[in-house]
Amino acid sequence: MQILQDKKIVLGISGGIAAYKTPELVRRLKDQGADIRVVMTEGAKAFITPLTLQAISGNAVADSLLDTQAELAMGHIELAKWADLIIIAPATADVIARIAVGMANDLLTTLCLATSAPIALAPAMNQQMWHALATQANVKTLNERGYQIWGPGSGEQACGDIGLGRMLEVNELVTLSSDFFADKYLQGQHWVITAGPTREAIDPVRYISNHSSGKMGYAIAHAALRAGAKVTLISGPVTINAPVGCQLISVNSAEEMHQQALKIAPECTTFVACAAVADYRVANIATQKIKKTNDAMKLELVKNHDIVADVANLHDKPFMIGFAAETQNIEDYARGKLMRKNLDLIAANDVAKSGQGFNSDNNALVLYSAIDKTEIPLANKQIIAQKLVSLINQHYLAKQS
C-alpha cells in the first residue's frame, strides 16, 4: 500500500511565482494516495487559479476566511481538524513572518493556529530575502516550535539571481511527504554513511579514482532518514544531490574521508562504510602538471589508511557495516573482511555482473553476519536500501538486547 494512502493533506499556497508548480504537486500527491484540499491566499490567486486546483484535487478550493457559506459550518475549524498534515508551498517570506508572530488575518494563517496537525513549510523567495536576518529569525522560531522546514533549494531564480531560495522540486516535496508518514523505527539513532569514490591526486589536473557513482550510499542515507535517523553523509565527488535533511560532508581524497570519519564516528550509533575508497595514493603529488615527455611514467603508490578498520577499532565503536564489492569468490572475501576488520555486518555485491553495482540504478546484495547471511535480490537501489536499513536495524537491536 502507498504510504500516503488515505492521508489527508491540506496544501496551503501563498503568493509566490513557484505557485505555478502546485497543480503538479497536487497531482503527484494524489498519485501516492493522498486526499488533497487546497487553501489559497489572495496573493496566490494572482499566479494560479482556484478552478485549476479544484479540477486537479477533486475538492473545492478554500480561499477566504469570511466565506459565509463555509463558515456556517465553521469551515476553517473543520479543515484544521481534518488535516493529517498541512504543507505550505510555496511559503513566502511574508507568510512565514505572519505565521511566526501568530497572525490570523487570512484563512491559511488561521488554520495554522487552529490545527493540531504537523505543518511543513517549503520556502520560496529571492535569495536575499531568504538570507535576511528577519527571515532567518522567523524560520528559526518556527523550527524550534516543531514546524518542518523543507528547503529551500539552490539555483537560478525567476528574478535572475542565483542562490538559496528556490522552492524544492515537486518530486522532492512528494518524497518528503511520504517520508513524513513512514515508520520512524530508527528514531534516536545517528547513522554515519560514507559514499561515492575518492580521488587521489597525481598532479593538479589528474587523479586516480574508480567507477563508484555514490547512488547506493545516497540511497542508504535517504532510507535511514526516512526511518527517523539523524544522518551524516561523508561523500566523495559525485554528481547526485544529497537527500534533504542529512548533514553532508564533502571530501575528495581517502585521507580527507578518514579524518572526517574518525572525527564523527564516536558520536554515532551506526556506521555504514559504503564508499569505494582508493586503497592507494600517490606518494609524491606533483605540484605542476606532468608533461608528456616520456613514453612511460612510473608512479609510486603508498597504502591509504583503512577507514572502516580504524573506526571499528575505536574504544566505543559504533555498530559497523562494511561493503565488499567483489568480482569473484564473493562469500569467502566478504566473510574474511567481516572478521579481519572487526565488523558487525558486511554487505557484498558482485560488481562483475552486468546491470548492478557501480554506475547502475540497480543492485543485489548479500548481507553477512558472523553466523548467518541474507540475500537481497536485484532491485532498484532505493528499494535495496530500504530492505538493507531494516535488516541492519534488526541486527543492531539484537546486539543491544
Rounded distance between C-alpha atoms, residue 41 and residue 244, angstroms:
27
Residue 162 contacts residue 156 (beta carbons within 8 Å): yes
Rounded distance between C-alpha atoms, residue 98 and residue 12, angstroms:
14
Contacts of 171 (CB under 8 A, 6+ apart): 28
Rounded distance between C-alpha atoms, residue 278 and residue 222, angstroms:
24
Tell me the sheet residues that pair with 363. 379
CB atoms within 10 A of CB 239: 7
Strands, DSSP E only, in 159-303?
Answer: 162-166, 190-195, 200-203, 206-208, 230-235, 247-250, 270-273, 280-282, 301-303
The conformation of residue 379, written as its DSSP 8-state character, comes to E
Rounded distance between C-alpha atoms, residue 232 and residue 382, angstroms:
18
Rounded distance between C-alpha atoms, residue 217 and residue 317, angstroms:
20
Question: Helix or strand or coil: residue 77?
Answer: helix
Strands, DSSP E only, in 92-140?
Answer: 119-123
Rounded distance between C-alpha atoms, residue 206 and residue 209, angstroms:
10
Residue 235 contacts residue 249 (beta carbons within 8 Å): yes
| Beta strands 362-368 and 345-350, pairing class | antiparallel
Residues of the chain by 3-state class (helix, strand, coil), percent to 5: 35, 25, 40
Active-site residue identified among 112, 159, 246, 274? 159
Would residue 159 show up in a list of annotated catalytic residues for this protein? yes
Cα-based distances in Å from 20 to 12, 13, 23: 13, 10, 7
Active-site annotation, residues: 159
